[in-house]
Amino acid sequence: MFGFKACAVLKTIMKGLVFLFTINILVMSIQTTGSAQQSPAELLNKIDRLSKEIEAQVIEWRRDFHQHPELSNQEYRTAGIVADHLRGLGMIVQTGIAKTGVTGILKGPEDGPVIALRADMDALPITEETGLPFASTVTATVNGETVGVMHACGHDVHTSSLMGVATVLSSVRDQLPGTVLFIFQPAEEGAFEYDIWGARQMVAEGVLEDPRPDAIFGMHVWPITTGTIGYTTGAIMASVDNFSIKVFGKGGHAAAPWQTTDPVIVAAQIVTGLQTLVSRNAELTKGAAVVSVGSICGGTRHNIIPDEVELLGTIRTHNEETRQLIHERLNELVTNTADAYGASAEVTIDRLYPAVINNANLVNDMLPVIMHSTGRENVKEMDPLMIAEDFAYYANEIPGMFYTLGIIPPDHTGPVEPIHSPRFDVDESAIKISVRTMSYLAVEALFRFSK
């Protein structure tokens, strides 16, 4: 029979064994097989230090890009700076992809998996109102009008951050069990004078072919608390399609509507009917959907019933099944409504971006390293968004993970400006987190895929 002292010794031994077992499990959860000279845990520590060292330079790049924004497919200056930086790091660099896109290939000491990292470079036709000392004064001609140009969607942060990641990972290339493909993409915001653009054009031109990545990661700054990482498994952003509906009637004097076939009335009935496409057709338990009319154009005077009215709108869904259903039902509803009033209608639907679908296995594998980067309490599962992102074209080809990074200071007061606002700005302390997290993801994925 053990005495109290013996029991105390036994308890101490047991606690020590539990502690060692716990540490072993933690190490095993971080370490992966491979031939790198350092363990991933040591490598992550080094990346953390390098991310701090590069922070000031990345902020300088961000401010420069912010002050010199360029519209879609016009990112010549930005692309030139990016390409020169990648060449300076000793990468294999290709330019002119999808007009102004740039790629850089960083190879480790031996063959292994390939991980792609993507940033978008273009700005928006918005006149800046931030009052920042490095605010944009750039203007451009859009649709015959002179407008301001601004990085109102954070692509200046995306581009500068990925340049920082390139610097960090180049410093540890001899410890990487594979290859990192850096993708700097033009025209995410859309370039509608072209048939295809941005990510879709880059994929069409073979950006994912040589080398073929095993996975791809992308990030978007978002107006939530600085350092917060938002993620989903499955849909994170919606598909987007634009539609045009032309209603053809018979015009005449507004005082004698019985002598006309009024396309305004038909258009009004169509607008009302379109609201049932989601509420009475889409199975919303499978994913959200939105149908919105943004423009109604027809007629020239208060007393003239026109011959024609045009409606412009958007369709957004989180899965392809719902997307296709809404397309079919929209055509049926519009055609039958017009026919019921003795008019006719023509429907055009432009399929733009598919939904961004995060690979569930990839997300689940990467969550621990994201939590290590920014703290478990700052990693939040988010509701899918109804905005669109052409990162979807990459994630349609290979496993992808897209996430959001918070850029609003915790002590912020007053209204929070959304993306695409002329007053949109970012908390630059988020940039170090951006560089560290993306670097962590690249390294963790390389080691996991090299098993």
pLDDT of residue 20: 42
pLDDT of residue 110: 87
Question: Residue 78: left (phi > 0), alpha (psi -120 to 50), or beta?
Answer: alpha
pLDDT of residue 192: 65
pLDDT tens digit at each of 451 positions of the chain: 334 334 444 444 444 444 444 434 444 444 443 343 345 889 999 999 999 999 999 999 999 999 999 999 999 999 999 999 999 999 999 999 999 999 999 999 989 999 999 999 999 999 999 999 999 999 999 989 999 999 999 999 999 999 999 999 999 999 999 999 999 999 999 986 778 999 999 999 999 999 999 999 999 999 999 999 999 999 999 999 999 999 999 999 999 999 999 999 999 999 999 999 999 999 999 899 999 999 999 999 999 999 999 999 999 999 999 999 999 999 999 999 999 999 999 999 999 999 999 999 999 999 999 999 999 999 999 999 999 999 999 999 999 999 999 999 999 998 999 999 999 999 999 999 999 999 999 999 999 998 7
Q: How many degrees, rounded to 5, is the angle at CA 385 between CA 184 and CA 69? A: 35
Residue 308 neighbours by CB distance under 10 Å: 17
Q: pLDDT digit string (tens) for 403-448?
A: 999 999 999 998 999 999 999 999 999 999 999 999 999 999 999 9
How far apart (Å, rounded) are the C-alpha atoms in residues 202 and 282?
Answer: 32
Domains and CATH numbers, the chain: 38-237+355-449 (3.40.630.10), 239-353 (3.30.70.360)
Q: Which of 55, 128, 156, 188 is catalytic?
A: 188
pLDDT of residue 8: 45
Three-state DSSP class for residue 93: strand
Beta strands in 359-399 (DSSP E): 379-381
Q: Which of 55, 70, 120, 122 is catalytic?
A: 122
Residue 122 annotated among the catalytic residues of the structure: yes
Summarize the chain as % helix, strand, coil (round to 5): 40, 25, 35
DSSP 150: B
